[in-house]
Amino acid sequence: HLPQMMKCCHFQFRLMMLIYFLLQTYHPRSYCVFNHNIPILRLWVNVEAELKHDFRLSRSAMHGLQRLLRREQDHGWGNELEILIYVYWLAHGLSYRVVSRVFSVPKSTVHRVIHKVVQNIWMNLKQAIFFPQAGELHAVGQGFAQLSGSPAFSNVVGAIDCSHIKIKPPLQNRIDYLNYKGFFSINMQVICDSDARFLDIFVGYPGSVHDTRIMKNSSFYRAVRYPPTGYILLGDGGYPCMDTPITLITPYKEPINGQIQGRFNHFHSKGRSVIERAFGMMKTRWRSTLFRALECAFLHNVCLDNGDILEPDADVAQDFIDPQPPREPLVNNESSGSGRLAALVSVHVPAP
């Protein structure tokens, strides 16, 4: 039996060597490749072609998104094609069936790809939406001073507001989703910087819930994460003016009393308007698919980071001229306006 044993050992040795060779030389590759005969993919591979009409993103923003969501994979359709499918679906609010025809892939594949990319975005949210580091706060403050037209606002490092995202309300608790503007929605709270970049997102409360209640239940407020001591957030008249646990400055309530308060409200409004512009940019780009509010906010920042700026359409901007939510009653540490800051505005800047 010795020759048979030696023959068996020799075979096992050769098999082990073959496996070792394959492991050393194998490089993962996607088994599915682009079909360049499909019009939407011909557009993509033509590096001179503009993408915004079909994808709502510029080519530079699309590349930035693909870099941000890059991951290792050894099967499937490949990261590049999967992100194209997802962004196209998001841009047009289409059914899986229509997207499958556009890209010539099975409907089940479109479903799987979209859920995979969404999960990837959620896992990478903090790569695009985050508060500035301590060394960056001065630049943010200078941005708000420039926006407002007053150096008194140089310690402002964010503006906070909520925006209503229209939804089809659930059958249960339907009335909870009816907001003060008269339509059904969920509320999306955002803090943005002086460049209209989102720093924090909080989504999910029904449309009837007041902005102040949403803020006081959001993680940044409860953990006193932002702004740091000595810095300020700007809010509209629906919020309370407070010093603790965060510093939030709002305009003086109408009717105003004298020129100092009038000047303060004027420059406060100019500085705070950046958050209306940020919402307007996002709603203009993704108006048909804002039910994916978190992903739209993520992509808003990716676009800004890659120089893809889309100014709000006039009809979207009109949303922010509508009446503001009613102000809730003030509590112990809350007031209206800021006398100290208002005085600084009056000193530094002449009346408009």
Kindly report, residue by residue over 194-248, the tens digit of the pLDDT.
999 999 999 989 999 999 999 999 999 999 999 999 999 999 988 998 888 999 9
Rounded average pLDDT over 130-135: 96
Residue 350 has pLDDT above 50, yes or no: no
DSSP letter string over 167-187?
A: ----STTGGGGB-TTSSBEEE
pLDDT at residue 76 greater than cutoff 80? no
Residue % of the chain over a pLDDT of 90 = 57
What's the rounded Cα separation, in Å, for the pair 217 and 202? 10
- Domain segments of the chain: what residues? 29-127, 136-319
> What contacts 197, CB < 8 A, 6 or more positions away?
278, 301, 304, 305
Distance between CA 342 and CA 339 in Å, rounded? 5
Mean pLDDT along residues 291-308: 93
For residue 337, pLDDT beyond 60: no
Check residue 221 and give its pLDDT: 96
Confidence band of 61 (pLDDT split at 50, 70, 90): very high
What is residue 351's predicted lDDT score, i.e. its pLDDT? 46
